[in-house]
Amino acid sequence: MRGVVHPLVDVARPFVNQGLAALKDKGLALAKDYGTQALQTLAEAPIPVFKTGGRIKGRKGKGKLALVHGGEYVLPVGIAPTVAQKKAVAKRKARARKI
């Protein structure tokens, strides 16, 4: 049996390699296409940044991308910020606009 397997492997190897190469090419094309779509999406609707705080716009409960920074806190839907927190955010936004 060993003598039969080796010639079969030699016959099958080019077909397998050709199939793998085609899969690689297809995968690279898909990755490029998805990457292009992702960049286009970011250009049309960039990820919001909340360095100075603020409310996330959009439908309540719908997932959204956002860039947050270390040390920041995020409040879940249904938990309202306190008056002091709203004032602090407003103050930071006003200060950021002056710079």
Tracing tokens 């709203």 back to the chain, one arrives at 86
pTM: 0.42
Domain boundaries, the chain: 1-46, 47-99
CA dihedral 89, 57, 44, 67 (to 10 degrees): 50
In this predicted model, what pLDDT tens digit does every residue of 84-95 receive, in sequence order?
998 988 898 888
CA 52/CA 48 separation, integer angstroms: 11
In this predicted model, what pLDDT tens digit does every residue of 54-77 receive, in sequence order?
788 888 888 888 888 888 888 888
